[in-house]
């Protein structure tokens, strides 16, 4: 062990929370509610006000004229809704519409652009799909991100495979390669790390009596065997302790991974979901790690591709506020935010690709059983800040990487938007991520709504100060995005619970999509459920097709 272990990160995190999250009505940092006077920026968010008005029973004026008839209407233009549209279009369908409330599509995969570069406002990478995920490989091939080699294997385009250096961690006062603080580890930490890896490898290689893996993507292909599903009754911290992994360092690392993918800490995340994070992307433990696919815009590059392809069908600024299923068609009431007028659509089939909690307010005739199931879905709040820099702060030790993480921080660190451009000098944009996972979700959202740009700017600067004491010299702007319902939370009991399965069942001619139906907020799961719902619709209207998701 080369340096002194800094202490129990759980205690440190509680102390940070006490100082950083004092109350919704005061600055989130004691005495630090102000940003440097020359710094500028914006506080952004999805349409909180309109969403809350719809929740509270908002009713626009009565629509004029007759409803516009379409074969299929897709509610929600995130990855799931766009993927559903992609699938319908591949089946030869054109008479459908995708309605998105925001002024841009993409949901938490949306992005933005400066004069220098594109940059993400949320999801920013996709792990290379395994070869069984043929549909996703097909989409990525259409984008030019992957291609099939003469030997039949798939490879990533050089411009999209994350270039080195990929990851680094600031711990013990210096940057080091990778995300595990190995230079702080004792021999006992190292022994327990081997134990942890061996257990994860066992789950990667595990198969049930029918040959199904314990963990794979999509979740629908995971084994339902009791040996696997009972993991969902534990927290990830409990599971680590049960296998004899009590190391503070390993618990911190797994905590970081859970916060990164799920917006929950290690004491809140289902052990099923925690092991899924490590075991689902390999078919054999001996396989090499597959590359991460990323773009300057993050997953906004996927959104941009699908939005362009679906331009004739995609309508933004359209707030759906009521769905009324009938015997043969569903009437959908919409408020056009551009014209401030109401209108209606009449659809043979509907794909509801908005978050599940919105179904409670938009589909008044949902049964009480379905409503009870939907209420079990919990969503975490996030903040994403984009830091615009005129240059790079001086570096020592390990160089600036794509992903830059701070040991014991409440944040997830930042990714560098210009990394894939091969631009290692000069101006850049850093995207900083902060999950509010140490709060009760409703309380976290309340604090989020009452926070200010000054609060978050102060927190960003304080968070990065130890690693980048000269950062303020290079900052020109910080823009902050608040996500109130950013990610579904896989708490113990939810992934294998009945509520999740009930919520995906069609309600008359309304079919449901969205990554929350997997219990995991992953691009691959949103894509899968978009395709699944689209194929339900194709079957319902009698269109012949060959499934893209069948095993």
Exposure of 266 by Cβ count < 10 A (0-12 exposed, 13-18 middle, 19+ buried)? buried
Strand partners, 351: 74, 511
In a domain, 159, yes or no: no
Q: Are residues 274 and 223 in the same domain?
A: yes
H or E stretch including 341? strand 341-352
CB neighbourhood size of 161 (10 A):
19
In a domain, 121, yes or no: no
In a domain, 497, yes or no: yes
- What is the full DSSP assignment across 422-459? T--SS-EEEEEEEE--SS-HHHHHHHHHH--HHHHHHH
Residue 328 tokens read as: 């043969």
H or E stretch including 477? strand 475-488
In a domain, 251, yes or no: yes
Pairing of strands 403-406, 414-416: antiparallel
Residues 6 or more apart whose Cβ sits within 8 Å of residue 533 = 80, 84, 351, 353, 511, 512, 513
Q: 538-544, long-range: CB within 8 Å, 24+ apart, which pairs?
A: 538/87, 538/88, 538/91, 538/93, 540/349, 540/506, 540/509, 540/511, 541/71, 541/72, 541/348, 541/349, 543/91, 543/92, 543/93
Q: Are residues 499 and 358 in the same domain?
A: yes
Exposure of 317 by Cβ count < 10 A (0-12 exposed, 13-18 middle, 19+ buried)? middle
In a domain, 143, yes or no: no
Q: How far apart are CA 22 and CA 28, in angstroms?
A: 6
- pTM for this prediction: 0.93
Q: How far apart are CA 186 and CA 380, in angstroms?
A: 34
Q: Are residues 383 and 484 in the same domain?
A: yes
Q: How far apart are CA 102 and CA 104, in angstroms?
A: 5
Helical packing angle, 271-279 and 248-262, nearest 10°: 90
Q: Which domain holds residue 236?
A: 184-290
In the chain, how many H helices and how many E strands? Answer: 16, 21
- What is the full DSSP assignment across 289-344? PPPEE--TTTTHHHHHHHHHHTTTTEEESEEEEEEEE-SS-EEEEEEETTTTEEEE
Residue 455 tokens read as: 């609060």
Helix ranges, 21-63 (H)? 48-55
Distance from the first to the final alpha carbon of the chain: 48
- Tell me the backbone φ, ψ of residue 43, rounded to 5 degrees: -100, 115
Q: Are residues 189 and 236 in the same domain?
A: yes
Q: Of 263, 290, 317, which closes a domain?
A: 290
Q: Are residues 328 and 245 in the same domain?
A: no
Q: How far apart are CA 411 and CA 402, in angstroms?
A: 16
Q: Are residues 448 and 400 in the same domain?
A: yes
How many structural domains is the chain composed of?
3
In a domain, 2, yes or no: no
Alpha-carbon distance values, 416 to 120, 205, 478 (Å): 10, 34, 14
User: 77-103 as b/e, with b when 16 or more CB fall inside 10 Å?
Assistant: bbbbbbbbbbbbbbbebeebbbbbbbe
Residue 322 tokens read as: 């009521």
- Tell me the backbone φ, ψ of residue 314, rounded to 5 degrees: -90, 125
User: Chain centroid to CA 400: how far?
Assistant: 24
Residues 6 or more apart whose Cβ sits within 8 Å of residue 487 = 108, 262, 263, 379, 380, 382, 435, 521
Q: Which CATH number belongs to the domain containing residue 230 in this structure?
A: 1.10.405
Q: Of 488, 504, 528, which closes a domain?
A: 488
Q: Are residues 225 and 239 in the same domain?
A: yes
pLDDT at 13: 61
Q: Are residues 391 and 515 in the same domain?
A: no
Q: How far apart are CA 39 and CA 121, in angstroms?
A: 20
pLDDT at 46: 84
Q: What is the DSSP letter of 145?
A: S
What is the three-class DSSP state of 128?
A: coil
In a domain, 519, yes or no: yes
Answer whether 290's CB lies under 8 Å from 127's CB.
yes
Q: Are residues 44 and 61 in the same domain?
A: no
Q: Which CATH number belongs to the domain containing residue 70 in this structure?
A: 3.50.50.60
User: Chain centroid to CA 359: how far?
Assistant: 20
Q: Of 290, 319, 351, which closes a domain?
A: 290
pLDDT tens series, the chain, 551 aa: 333 344 565 665 655 554 454 333 333 333 344 445 578 999 998 876 766 676 666 677 788 789 999 999 999 999 999 999 999 999 999 999 999 999 999 999 999 999 999 999 999 999 999 988 999 999 999 999 999 999 989 999 999 999 999 999 999 999 999 999 999 999 999 999 999 999 999 999 999 999 999 999 999 999 999 999 999 999 999 999 999 999 999 999 999 999 999 999 999 999 999 999 999 999 999 998 889 999 999 999 999 999 999 999 999 999 999 999 998 999 999 999 999 899 999 999 999 999 999 999 999 999 999 999 999 999 999 999 999 999 999 988 999 999 999 999 999 999 999 999 998 899 999 999 999 987 788 888 888 888 999 999 999 999 999 999 999 999 999 999 999 888 999 999 999 999 999 999 999 999 999 999 999 999 999 999 999 999 999 999 999 999 999 87
Q: Are residues 76 and 224 in the same domain?
A: no
* Dihedral over Cα of 75, 382, 21, 378: its sign: positive
Residue 469 tokens read as: 């004491």
Q: Are residues 193 and 242 in the same domain?
A: yes
Q: How far apart are CA 88 and CA 224, in angstroms?
A: 30
In a domain, 165, yes or no: no
Q: Which CATH number belongs to the domain containing residue 32 in this structure?
A: 3.90.660
Strand partners, 347: 70, 330
Answer whether 435's CB lies under 8 Å from 263's CB.
yes
Q: Are residues 366 and 391 in the same domain?
A: no
């Amino acid at each position: 062990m080369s340096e002194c272990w800094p202490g129990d990160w759980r205690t440190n995190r509680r102390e940070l929370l006490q100082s950083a999250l004092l109350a919704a009505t005061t600055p989130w940092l004691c005495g630090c509610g102000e940003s440097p006077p020359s710094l500028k920026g914006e506080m952004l968010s999805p349409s909180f006000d309109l969403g809350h008005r719809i929740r509270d029973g908002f009713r626009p004026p009565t629509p004029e004229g007759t409803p516009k008839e379409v074969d299929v209407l897709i509610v929600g233009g995130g990855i799931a809704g766009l993927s559903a549209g992609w699938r319908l279009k591949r089946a030869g369908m054109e008479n459908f519409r995708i309605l998105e409330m925001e002024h841009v599509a993409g949901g938490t995969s949306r992005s933005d652009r400066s004069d220098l570069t594109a940059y993400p406002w949320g999801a920013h990478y996709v792990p290379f799909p395994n070869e069984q995920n043929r549909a996703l490989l097909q989409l990525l091939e259409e984008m030019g991100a992957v291609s099939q080699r003469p030997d039949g294997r798939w490879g990533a385009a050089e411009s999209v495979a994350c270039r080195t250096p990929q990851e680094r961690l600031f711990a013990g006062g210096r940057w080091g390669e990778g995300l595990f603080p190995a230079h702080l580890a004792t021999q006992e930490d190292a022994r327990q790390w081997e134990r942890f890896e061996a257990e994860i490898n066992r789950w990667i290689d595990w198969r049930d009596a029918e040959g199904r893996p314990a963990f794979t993507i999509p979740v629908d292909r995971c084994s339902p065997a009791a040996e696997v599903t009972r993991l969902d009754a534990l927290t990830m911290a409990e599971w680590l302790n049960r296998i004899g992994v009590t190391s503070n360092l390993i618990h911190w690392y797994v905590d970081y991974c859970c916060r990164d993918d799920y917006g929950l800490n290690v004491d809140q995340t289902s052990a099923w979901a925690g092991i899924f994070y490590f075991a689902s992307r390999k078919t054999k433990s001996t396989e090499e790690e597959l590359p991460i696919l990323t773009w300057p815009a993050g997953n906004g590059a996927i959104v941009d591709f699908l939005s362009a392809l679906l331009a004739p069908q995609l309508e933004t600024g359209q707030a759906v506020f009521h769905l009324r299923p009938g015997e043969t068609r569903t009437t959908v009431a919409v408020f056009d935010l551009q014209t401030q007028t109401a209108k209606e659509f009449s659809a043979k089939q509907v794909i509801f690709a908005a978050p599940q909690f919105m179904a409670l307010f938009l589909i008044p005739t949902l049964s009480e059983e379905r409503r009870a199931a939907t209420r079990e879905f919990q969503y975490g709040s996030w903040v994403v800040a984009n830091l615009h820099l005129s240059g790079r702060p001086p570096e020592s030790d390990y160089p600036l990487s794509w992903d830059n993480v701070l040991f014991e921080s409440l944040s997830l660190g930042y990714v560098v938007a210009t990394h894939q451009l091969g631009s290692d000098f000069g101006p850049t944009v850093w995207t900083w991520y902060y999950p509010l996972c140490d709060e009760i979700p409703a309380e976290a959202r309340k604090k989020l709504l009452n926070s200010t740009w000054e609060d978050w700017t102060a927190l960003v600067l304080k968070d990065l100060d130890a690693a980048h004491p000269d950062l303020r010299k290079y900052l020109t702007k910080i823009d902050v995005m608040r996500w109130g319902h950013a990610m579904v939370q896989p708490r113990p009991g939810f992934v294998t619970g009945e509520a999740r399965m009930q919520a995906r069942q069609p309600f008359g001619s309304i079919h449901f999509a969205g990554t929350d139906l997997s219990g995991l907020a992953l691009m691959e799961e949103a894509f899968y459920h978009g395709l699944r719902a689209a194929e339900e619709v194709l079957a319902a209207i009698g269109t012949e097709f060959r499934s893209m998701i069948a095993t």
